[in-house]
Structure 1
Amino acid sequence: MKKITVLFLSALTITMTSSAAFAQQQDSDFSAKQRQEIGKIAADYLRKHPQILVQVSQELQKQQQQQQQQQMVSAAVQSSSNLMDVKGIPHIGPKNAKVTVTEFFDYQCYYCHHMAPVIEKLMKANPKVQFIFRDWPIFASRWENSARAATVGLQVWHDKGAASYIKYHNGIFATNHDEGKLTQTDIKTVAKAAMGKTLKLAKDDAYKNTIMKNDALARQIGFQGTPGFIVMPAKGANAENTAVIGGAVPLQALQQAIDNAKK
């Protein structure tokens, strides 16, 4: 309710500011008394028809969202070379793929868990697309295993490659232990199943550096949470063939973005 009220006030301020500017431009056409009457009529009308303020606030919010989306797409295009640099970053699919899907995710994110089976289906339906998985453990300050699961996953990738990594990645999500419920036992068990042996944890400094780079890239693009998806051509990305999608979305939305990036 507070957010709606703020939007109402913002819309009303814009309306009043525009009206004042218009009135100043019309000094030669309207007297002070006439301008006062016009303002009274407008105020009375708004009081009798408050739904107009709702419509104005909704339109303002829509415009702000569109502007933010355009800014994120522009940032993604500008960051395309960094997004395509997958050294040390888990990725599945052909190296010469024409289209890429990048996901910024957190193993403790509820919505990432919700999207995991969707991404599995998307990968099976698009074998010629490269899927890039960028760990962004934004909940690590709240739940330690958010970061631990990320660094273990990166080590699985480094030690055993794509096949073992995707088993680990999907295995963590298959536990359905999100929002603080993931345990160290979960991580060790899933890692062992993915690698075929008990994982011996190495120094994770390099993996932490990778996560820090992911964090900087996600913030540069403008993501405010996980999951965050970027669908774009591996080469020749522009505002028309690039999509930036935040949050949980239907499979069809991601597939449409992939189809658009192929054009």
Structure 2
Amino acid sequence: MFAADSTAPTVPAATAQANNFSTTQTKQIEDIVHSYLVKNPQVLVEAANSLQQQQMSQMEKTASKAIAKNAKDIFNSPGSPVMGNPQGDVTLVEFMDYQCGHCKDMGPVLDALIKSDGQLRVVIKEFPIFGPDSEFASRAALASQKQGKFTAFHLALLADRNRLNKDEVLKVAQKVGIDTQKLQQDMNDPAIDAQLKENVRLAQELGLIGTPAIVIGNKSGSKTAFIPGTASKDNLIQVIKQTRS
């Protein structure tokens, strides 16, 4: 074993060597590199792809650890709305925001999956990241559970392409038969505060940087998958199949 030499220079060798180049030599090296990249732009694409793959790999590792650590809160939190089959053998969890365009695109995809897969359980994690209007919509959606209207309200909010401010959210609520006066009272339930805080904590543990994000797991918890973004119906069917097998 070699002991560390506390008197050794702390400047990396490559940096020390670089400092030995003259200004002219440094400029020549920069010109050579620039010329090479201009003639071979695919190198930049390859580097960007490699970086993206590394970031994705790290994100998946972070999410995998977080899923194992927080499985109960992710898949079976009592305050999270459930759609599809409550006793399904595979659970799909979506972190979403009603003002997120990609989340709106995922609405009909998940609705179609629920209708085609009788064993799919879908859990919605309200994760309002686009400001006060998003939080109002999320609170309203969570409160709508007390009137048994969550699924209808959830899908209607996702289908609405107008800005979801307070007036628009309440208008959508009325359209699906929700008592808006009761809804606004129920939105003040401390349980909703707790649910939103828990969702933020889980999102941070998972390393989420946006919405939507999807976590899929089987009933025993032995197989899970993480999708940081949108996914097609066919892709989700394949992941669900792998998780179920």
What's the TM-score, normalizing by structure 1? 0.72
Give the aligned partner of residue 207 of structure 1. 192
Structure 2 contact 75–93 (Cα < 8 Å) conserved? no
Q: How does 1:15-164 map to 2 (within 5 A)?
A: 48=36, 50-51=40-41, 53-54=43-44, 55-140=46-131, 144-157=132-145, 159-161=146-148, 164=149
Q: Is the 8 A contact 1:107 1:150 kept in 2?
A: yes
Q: Answer whether contact 2:144 2:178 (CA < 8 A) is retained.
A: no
Q: CA RMSD in A?
A: 2.6
Q: 1:228 aligns with which of 191, 213, 219?
A: 213
CA distance in 2, matches of 1:228, 1:219: 12
Q: Tell me the amino acid that sits aligned with residue 107 of structure 2.
A: A
AA aligned opposite 1:186: E
Residue 176 of structure 2 is aligned to residue 194 of structure 1: yes
The CA distance in 1 between the partners of 2:180 and 2:51, in whole Å, is 55
Structure 1 segments of 4+ aligned residues over 6 angstroms from their partners: 43-46
Q: From the superposition, tell whether residues 174 and 59 of structure 1 become closer, same or farther in structure 2 (CA, over 3 Å).
A: closer
Q: Contact between 1:151 and 1:204, CA under 8 Å: does it hold in 2?
A: no
**In structure 2, how many angstroms separate the alpha carbons of the residues matched to 1:227 and 1:64?**
18
What letter corresponds to residue 256 of structure 1 in structure 2? Q
State yes or no: 1:250 paired with 2:227. no
**Tell me, which stretches of 5 or more residues in structure 2 are unaligned?**
1-11, 15-30
Cα separation, 1, equivalents of 2:64 and 2:111: 24
Query: What count of residue pairs does the alignment treat as equivalent?
Result: 214
TM-superposed deviation, 1:199: 3.7
- TM-score, normalised by the number of residues in structure 2: 0.77
1:259 equivalenced with 2:241 (yes/no): yes
Q: What whole-Å deviation, never above 9, does each CA across 1:147-177 have from its counterpart, x for those lacking one?
A: 11111111111x123xx11000011112112
Query: Structure 1 residues 85-94 or 253-262, which shifts more?
Result: 85-94
Counterpart contact for 2:147–2:178, Cα < 8 Å: no
**Residue 219 of structure 1: aligned partner:** 204
* Residues 47 and 170 of structure 1: CA distance in aligned 2, closer, same or farther (over 3 Å): same
Contact 1:230-1:242 at 8 Å conserved across structures: yes
SS in 1 for 2:86: coil
Rounded to whole Å, the distance in 1 between the matches of 2:150 and 2:108 is 16
Alignment deviations for residues 7-26 of structure 1 (CA, whole Å, 9 cap, x no partner): xxxxxxxxxx9x97xxxxxx
